[in-house]
Structure 1
Amino acid sequence: MEDRYQLSQINLQIRMYLLGVVFWAVLAVAKSQILQQFTQNPCVSRSTCHECIATPTCAWCYDTVNINTTKRCFQPSYPLPPLDQCDPSKIYNPDNEMIMIANAALSMRQESGSEGGTIVSGYEGSSSSSGSFSGSQSGSGYGGGAWEGGGGITQVRPQRIKLKLRARQQYSISMYYTQAEDYPVDLYYLMDLSKSMQDDKEKLSALGDHLAQTMQNMTSKFMLGFGSFVDKVVMPYVSTIPENLRSPCSGCEAPYGFRNVMTLSRDTWRFSQMVKSASVSGNLDAPEGGFDAIMQAVVCRDQIGWREKARRLLVFSTDAGFHYAGDGKLGGIVKPNDGECHLDTKGYYTMSSRQDYPSISQINTYVKKNAINVIFAVTKDKVDIYEQLRQHIEGSSCGQLSNDSSNVVDLITEQYQAISSTVEMKHNASSAVNIKFFSKCLNGNNEEVETNKCGNIKVGSLVQFRIQLEVVECPADPRDTKQLIQIYPVGLNESLIIDLTMLCDCPCEHEGLEINSPKCHSHGTFMCGICECVEPAYGPTCECNKAGTTANVSTANCINPKNGLECSGRGNCICGKCECEQRTNPEEIISGEQCECDNFSCERHKGQLCSGPTHGQCVCGVCECNEDWTGDNCACKNDTKSCLRPGTEDPTKLCSGNGECLCGECKCNANDEGFYFGRFCEHCTFKNCSDDCNKYKQCVQCQQYKTGNLTEEECQKCPFTPTSVRVVEVVDKNGEVLCPFYDEDHCRFSFVYYFDEENKLRVRAQEERECPTTVFLLGIVLGVIAAVVLLGMAVLLLWKLLTTVHDRREFAKFEKEAMMARWDTGENPIYKQATSTFKNPTYAGKS
């Protein structure tokens, strides 16, 4: 029995020993991490102001006082910022800044309005459109005002912000997208009318009403247009023999490049008639001039009738390939495509024979600029090539037509649903700015993932994107530090515009420069509080001379081998020897050959170094504790009296019986139902818990405000005298309790009670009660009415002034253009008419 007892005692000692080893190991790891963080301060190696602010968390001191010893680049938040030698007004520490410019509410819900219009509920403010589209709707055959054109719909929020960012600091903003109900749709059907597409044209004519009815079931604000194309009317694309130019094939009309047959309209019967009456034509080679047609259909916004706020669909139907930039040289056309609109009054492309085909990148650029979704509806044998083309044109898709285009309605419907149920965010930022998109989309798991694309979106669904921006590098050209970034959903003419300013340099690097300054021994420029020396001078004030040696030889003795920093980052290497920084407090000393030691960077407890001189001393950055104290900050003691609540004598009631006493402080218990808190774990969050607010309420009222139910004698017996403060705040969240009340006069007051280090009850009470005040409503109403009247008059005067200036400028511009008009001959200088020579070999002439 005795042996078993001894064995259990040995096991207990072994366990205690292992527990102690683990405890000290954890403390050692934490200590090493803290020291490593201190020695790897990224600011100490930054020698100029722009290098300093390009490093996150660093600030620059450009004070001209004590230029030999002032620490210029430093971390204000770690651990003791060197502000003691720098005037706070001379510190440059720019912060990220965002200003909201336009933040109109989303069009989340719609209600039926009068006169066939629509009212969007929840709309507030004014939308800031990202596009530059401003064409009129005349000739479109579709009325209804701005709302019918989608002008009052907002699907992206916010619309514009101004942002200032420091380099290498991530900054996140939120962007919201919703698909508005009954959003307008413009569908322009661009068809290849070469001879091989004749049966497709007839089928499209028969299905015109069905196509319009199907789309109107999705949105009542639907407009339909039609255009056709063949190819450039030059050899070798089209036969230029006069007879073939008039009729290249049986039942064909003269060839042409592109023609806008019907501007976008709601007249579906007219669409069917236009398609039916359109005649096919013919050309020589298999590829067609579809790129010319796409470019004109995209950029001729007024002539086509594209609305500003609408989902724009361009259906491109063909059974052949396409010509692209460079092919025009075969016909002697070398002028590049200018991306401009060249349609005459009849809708024909006038520059077809004078300009080359556009390139794929040009098509992509103008499709993105005008927010158009291109749908390639092609036959089976051409699907592969247009599928590859789709990958290079943003927002485009590809579908397979049947041999006679009988499935065109189903194809367009399918592609439109795929486009409208998906949102994909893009941006146009330069390589200097890294942009990432994060979203939970509409996933049920509510988990945020890195993605710029969300699917399965329905009308009214709200999708949030978190946009993370980071300036990864400062541009070499200072003019590039200002950028206008557009973040937009593909295929929609709405976006978030970010006016970005990169904070990459300091104002002091451009202002107040002193060239060959006496402060730099006349061998350098004094700026931002430092000297920029001219070779071969060096040193903080250019006081040293290399004398033919390199800088590394002169500063080798100053490098601390443990961290690789010159003078450990806390001194200046003066001609090969460290001069440590002098602290304002004479008791704080930096020492060592490389300034590696100090007596003030040890851990602190409650603002005191090593918990105060009675607990320990700081020696070369490490606390050496006195007797009865231990820990990295010498704050841990074995005495448990500090864990007893005042008035409690029972030693078993440490921490009110609701916690554990560790190092003289209570560690409170917690579980799933709640937790205990307070200096003595005397408070809790459980259902049946209560505090002492009501207990101290009457005393606070009588002593602080001379109110309440206590008599003067009872008030004098209160166990405390409150301290008056202007604003009552909880400083120590674990030990202080906030008590807010309303008294019988309906006045609000609050106070905080806690126990100090000597376990005495302390109370801080609000200086004055907050009582309700009367409001002079009549004056406010009259002031608002007067302000509205004056503002209206000012707006009318401004409008009249602007219209007068605009009319005068337009008239002057008209007169100037009339004087400079010139005729264009329209001749091709390198084209010559073919000649024919006939000879009869049997004719021998006259005898």
Structure 2
Amino acid sequence: MGCPVNPLDDIAEDCCLRRMRNILRDDSHPGWQFFDLLPSSGRYRSMISPTNRAMLPTGWTVRLWLLFKLLAMVHAEKMPDTGSCQPHPSCHECIRSHPSCAWCKQLDFVQAGESDMERCAPRVELERRGCLPSEIMDPHSEQRVLEDRPLSNSTQHQSFTQLAPQRIALQLRPGEEQRVTVRFRRAEGYPVDLYYLMDLSYSMKDDLENIKRLGSHLLAALRDVTTSVKIGFGSFVDKTVLPYVDTAPSKWQNPCSPSDESCQPAFSYQHVLKLTDNASEFESRVSQQRISGNMDMAEGGFDAIMQAVICKEQIGWRNVTKLLVFTSDGTFHMAGDGKLGGVYMPNDGRCHLDDRGLYTKSHLYDYPSVAHLAEVLSESNIQAIFAVTGPRLSMYEELSRLIPKSVVGELREDSSNVVQLIADAYSSLSSTVNLVHSSDLAPGIAIAYDSHCGDSETSGRTQGECLGVRVNQQVEFSVRIKATTCLPGPQKVVLRVLGVGEEVHIEVATLCDCQCGDTQSNAPHCSGGRGNLTCGICSCQEGHAGRLCECKPEELVDAEATCRDANDTGPVCSGKGQCVCGKCQCNAQASGPLCKCDDAGCERHNGQLCGGNGQCRCGNCECHQNYTGSACQCSLETSGCTQEGVVCSDHGHCVCNRCHCDAGWFDSHCSRCADCQTPCEEHRNCAECRAFGTGLLQKTCSASCNQTVNVVLASATDERWCQTKAEDGSLLIYLIERDKEGSISLTVNGKEGNTTKKTFRLVLSSVLGLVFFGVFLIIVYRIVLEIYDRREFKRFEKERKHAKWNEVNNPLYRSATTTVINPKYNSD
């Protein structure tokens, strides 16, 4: 069913449009309404007027929308049904509303002042309120196997049965799922029809010579795996209009190049040989074929496939395994390409072969789309084998992903390996079992598949699938069918295995009406014959009213006055019911003489009214047995508080099946104490004072401690020995023993110093020693340096005093002299 995104966007878009149009047509987008213009035969947008076409979503919009829709569908399918049964006024409406709803038809079930809507509730609730099980209408889905022929084994060859059962009748209650088990066994020797469809363009010339000698080898290969096999033959080139073929008279008669090569005129598709088991006839008819030619690399193979599938009588298809072998070394034209040659009408999906087997409408109808081909191949149960050359392999693999039950094989340039290729492809197709349902599934029916394939299992898929199924191996599928609404009438669902001509026919009807069996006209229960009785409810005759037709409305004087409090001008019955015959008939969520009690206004717990453990009556919860509390939230059970037969370890009390611990105790069963001393801590002070005379009790040891204390020197490796800190921080090691009389003796192994403090002190003293030693060295260095400097200074002073300097003038010395002459000076 998937439509993967393909490099050829038009293919993927057309596939998505066609296969999902039924889902999309209910949406509110103004363009979705035009999806109905796309018929099941795969027509495309050119049918729609330009105005309407503009309103259609684009290809990527379609894909995104489909993604969201599919995710929503999967999410809705996986989500549990969180709805619940709500009261309804009639049995029919009750059982249609929810699968858990049941209806009580017991005459005296509804009390005075209550509405008949109270008859609609879950079965357990109705029985609790006093309705007899035989008076409860609670239909459930049923299935009847109408035909179940045994599966064939390897010794049966006259008639084959691979799929069972063959016919089933289902009665489905809306919202309730029913499982149908379908069995499939791959029979040995199942008949095969093989139609060989060959590209006869010029590039396939050498291939044709090999195919002419193919018949006997192909039949021999298929007869190794089946008792009955028929083969047929057809060929194709392309549409007989420009630009696909050359329409010039000379080229029309001989389209091959070089011109001295004798070729037949171009054609679109020709059916040559009807399916036959005569190998000689196959070789004879194929040997008469001549090569042809066209102008481009793409061929008209899609036209040929469509005609070969649709023209069932001309081809001679039987209701067996049907294979269509498509061989080509070129690409393919698809929907829309025909416009290049003026061919714009969408392919109509009908047979147009003349008496010679030629396709006569190729110049009128466009190539079919991939989605259209996928649909007709699937509906006709034909499996396609694409035998193509290496350069085209990837393109045809993409095409195969869009066509169910198809495979691709690599063809040698001269088609010499085609027999082995077909045999391998047939083996691959036959070993894959795909169980699907008909595409025209009625709205309101949902189907999911669980596959049981022996070594592997899958669940919740849109189709059943088993891989690698061997001959005579049996696999099973659980088909889960659910009606989401009441169907207008019996609907048919057809299940089939792709590639197999057998089907499972399922007739689906819905249980939407109550067959109470108490219908009575003029029933005495209805006030002596004033009404007709159906499912415990009275339908009053004209002129009578009331739940039991007990009054005539015209005889009542101001009937509504009795349905209100005195001087009350508000709505009758507090607006929560109807005034019938001067009495209030309350709605489902109200009660009391004037419907003042709100039966839906009680306290909730965990989102449920009365915690789901009681009934709401006039605003108060009436709890079921073993429940209490304002919202019935408290269970009276004590299983959650009990451990080894003791409730809350005797250190608390059980409330709502949970322990409330005494002060100082905690955990789920009050088994742990926050402030309690361990036995080792309890006897620590006595062990210290009795053995060593130290600790907190050293002054009152004799009066406070009555244990017997022994001091030993043996090593204490047993985990029973206590290792605690003494008062001075040292490690105290001792063993506590109790004799039969209850006397306690302490065996003290020893008292080890506090290694932590010792280590700290040692480290501290070392550090302080290093500090003091460094400071001492610095002081000594400064003292020595000071003494040395003082001595040097004294020596300098002494030398300076004894120094004598020569004070004679230096002959080289002359004092500086500056002579300035005033130019204005006159000596005179």
Rate the CA distance shift 1:314–1:624 in 2: closer, same or farther, 3 A.
closer
1:403 aligns with 2:442: no
- CA-CA distance at 1:175 after TM superposition: 0.7
**Structure 1 counterpart of 2:102:** 59
| Letter aligned with residue 426 of structure 1 | V
SS at match of 1:386: helix
In 2, the alpha carbon distance for the partners of 1:356 and 1:76 equals 61
- Residues 109, 571 of structure 1: alpha-carbon distance in 2 compared, 3 angstrom cutoff: farther
Q: Which residue does the alignment assign to 2:722? A: none
Alignment of 1:244-255 (within 5 A): 244-249=251-256, 250-255=261-266
Deviation at 1:177, TM superposition (A): 0.5
Quick one: distance in 1 between partners of 2:282 and 2:592? 84
Conserved in 1, the CA contact under 8 Å of 2:197 and 2:233? yes
Q: What is the RMSD computed on CA atoms of the aligned residues?
A: 4.6
Distance 2:85 2:458 in 1: 34
Structure 2 segments unaligned to the other structure (5+ residues): 1-81, 528-533, 540-546, 554-558, 578-585, 601-613, 643-828
1:372 Cα deviation from its structure 2 partner: 0.6
Residue 295 in structure 1 maps to residue 318 in structure 2 = no
- The 1:319/1:47 distance shift into structure 2, 3 A limit, reads farther
Contact 2:87 2:121 in 1 (8 A): no
Q: Tell whether the 8 Å contact from 2:94 to 2:120 is kept in structure 1 after alignment.
A: no
Is the 1:212–1:268 contact (alpha carbons within 8 Å) kept by the matching residues of 2?
yes
Q: d(CA) in 2 for partners of 1:335 and 1:448?
A: 43
- Residues 484 and 266 (structure 1), Cα distance of their counterparts in 2 relative to 1, 3 Å cut: same
Measure how far apart 1:410 and its partner are. 1.7
More off after superposition, 194-203 vs 494-503? 494-503
1:196 Cα deviation after fit: 1.1
**Corresponding position: 1:98 with 2:143:** yes
2:226 counterpart SS class: coil
- Bigger Rg, structure 1 or 2: 2
Aligned to 1:268, which of 251, 255, 279?
279
1:179 alignment partner in structure 2: 186
Letter in 2 for 1:265: T
Superposition map of 1:541-620 within 5 A: 571-572=590-591, 577-578=596-597, 592-594=617-619, 596-597=621-622, 601-602=624-625
SS at match of 2:93: helix
CA displacement at 1:88 relative to structure 2: 5.9
Find the counterpart in structure 1 of residue 447 from structure 2.
Answer: 435
- Picking from 192, 196, 208, the partner of 2:215 is 208
Matched residues in 2 for 1:568 and 1:183: separation?
65
- Is contact 2:94–2:102 with CA below 8 Å preserved after alignment? no
Q: CA deviation at 1:528?
A: 9.5
Q: 1:246 to 1:83 in 2, by over 3 A?
A: farther
1:73 matched to 2:120: yes
Q: Does 1:162 align with 2:169?
A: yes
Give the aligned partner of residue 485 of structure 1.
Answer: 493
1:281 aligns with 2:292: yes
CA contact (8 A) 2:590 2:596 kept: no
Task: Could you tell me which runs of 5 or more consecutive residues in structure 1 were left unpaired when the two chains were aligned.
Answer: 1-39, 111-118, 121-146, 520-525, 532-538, 557-566, 582-588, 604-609, 611-617, 637-847
Deviation at 1:159, TM superposition (A): 0.9
- Pairwise CA distance, 1:579: 7.4
CA distance 1:54–1:487, change in 2 (3 Å): farther
What is the match of residue 349 of structure 2?
A: 339
Q: Once the 2 structures are TM-superposed, how far is the Cα of residue 619 of structure 1 from its aligned partner? A: 11
Displacement, 1:319? 1.4
Identity of aligned residues (%): 34
* TM-score, with structure 2 as normaliser: 0.53
Q: Check conservation: 1:232, 1:353, Cα contact below 8 A.
A: yes
CA distance in 2, matches of 1:376, 1:57: 52
Q: Determine the C-alpha separation between the residues in 2 that align with 1:319 and 1:430.
A: 42
Which residue pairs with 1:498 in the alignment? 506
CA distance in 1, matches of 2:419, 2:591: 78
Aligned-partner residue type, residue 226 of structure 2 = T
Does 2:468 correspond to 1:460?
Answer: no
Counterparts in 2 of 1:550 and 1:623: CA distance versus 1, 3 Å: closer
Q: 1:573 to 1:320 in 2, by over 3 A?
A: farther
Q: Is the 8 A contact 1:234 1:240 kept in 2?
A: yes
> What's the secondary structure of 2:366's corresponding residue?
coil
Q: Deviation at 1:210?
A: 2.1
Q: How many correspondences in the alignment?
A: 496
Are 1:75 and 1:81, in contact at CA under 8 Å, matched by a contact in 2?
Answer: no
Give the 3 Å change call, closer, same or farther, for CA 549–194 of structure 1 in structure 2.
farther
Q: Per the alignment, in what secondary structure is the counterpart of residue 435 of structure 1?
A: strand
Distance 1:548 1:470 in 2: 50
Kindly indicate whether the alpha-carbon contact (under 8 Å) linking 2:347 and 2:366 is maintained by their aligned counterparts in 1: yes
Corresponding residue for residue 390 of structure 1: 400
CA distance in 1, matches of 2:569, 2:154: 78
Instruction: Give distance in 2, aligned partners of 1:240 and 1:540.
Output: 89
Q: Distance in 2 between matches of 1:237 and 1:548?
A: 88
1:378 to 371, 388, 392: 388
Question: 2 CA distance for matches of 1:404 and 1:624?
Answer: 83
Counterpart code for 2:619: Q
Partner of 1:366: 376
Corresponding position: 1:226 with 2:226: no
Separation in structure 2 between the aligned mates of residue 495 and residue 267 of structure 1, nearest angstrom: 30
Query: Are the counterparts in 1 of residues 85 and 97 from structure 2 also a CA contact under 8 Å?
Result: no
What is the correspondence of 1:24-173 to structure 2 with a 5 Å cutoff? Answer: 42-44=84-86, 49-50=92-93, 52-61=95-104, 66=110, 68-70=114-116, 71-78=118-125, 80-82=127-129, 84=131, 92-110=137-155, 119-120=156-157, 147=158, 152-173=159-180
Equivalent of 1:322, from 302, 323, 332?
332
1:229 Cα offset (Å): 0.6
Q: TM-score if structure 1 supplies the norm length?
A: 0.52
Residue 621 of structure 1 and its aligned partner are, at CA, apart by 11
